[in-house]
Amino acid sequence: MSRPFDVLVLGAGAAGLFCAAEAGKRGRRVAVLERAERAGKKILISGGGRCNFTNIYCRPENFLSANPHFAKSALARFTPDDFIALVEKHKIPYHEKTLGQLFCDHSAQEITGLLDAECRDAGVKLFLNEQVREVTKGTQFVVRTDTEEFRAPTLVVATGGLSIPKMGATSFGYELARQFELKIQPTRPGLVPLILGRKAQKEYCDLAGVSAEVTASIENTEFPEKISFREKMLITHRGLSGPAILQISSYWQHGKAINLDLVPGREVTLAVHSHIRLINSAGFVRFLLVLFLFFEPVYGEGICAENFVVQNLCSIDGLIEVPAKVLAGHFFNGLQEVFLGGMHESILHEIGMHAFRHRVFADDAF
CB neighbourhood size of 336 (10 A):
22
Q: For 249-296, how does the pLDDT look when each residue is reduced to its tens digit (9 = 90+)?
A: 888 776 677 887 777 776 554 444 433 343 444 455 555 565 555 444
Q: Within the chain, which residue ranges are assigned CATH 2.40.30.10? A: 194-327
Q: For 51-102, how does the pLDDT look when each residue is reduced to its tens digit (9 = 90+)?
A: 999 999 998 888 877 777 778 888 888 999 999 999 999 999 999 998 899 9
Q: How far apart are CA 219 and CA 256, in angstroms?
A: 7
Q: Where are the beta strands (DSSP E) in 141-257?
A: 141-145, 149-152, 154-157, 184-190, 194-195, 211-218, 227-235, 239-241
Residue range 194-327, CATH number: 2.40.30.10
Span of 37-41, 203-207, 314-318 with lowest mean pLDDT: 314-318
Residues facing 190 on adjacent strands: 338
What pLDDT was estimated at residue 235? 86
Q: Are 323 and 166 in contact (CB under 8 A)?
A: no
CA angle 56, 78, 68 (to 5 degrees): 80
Q: Within the chain, which residue ranges are assigned CATH 3.50.50.60? A: 2-188+339-362
The superfamily (CATH) of domain 2-188+339-362 is FAD/NAD(P)-binding domain (3.50.50.60)
Q: How far apart are CA 4 and CA 233, in angstroms?
A: 53
Whether the model pTM is above 0.85: no
pLDDT at 23 over 60: yes
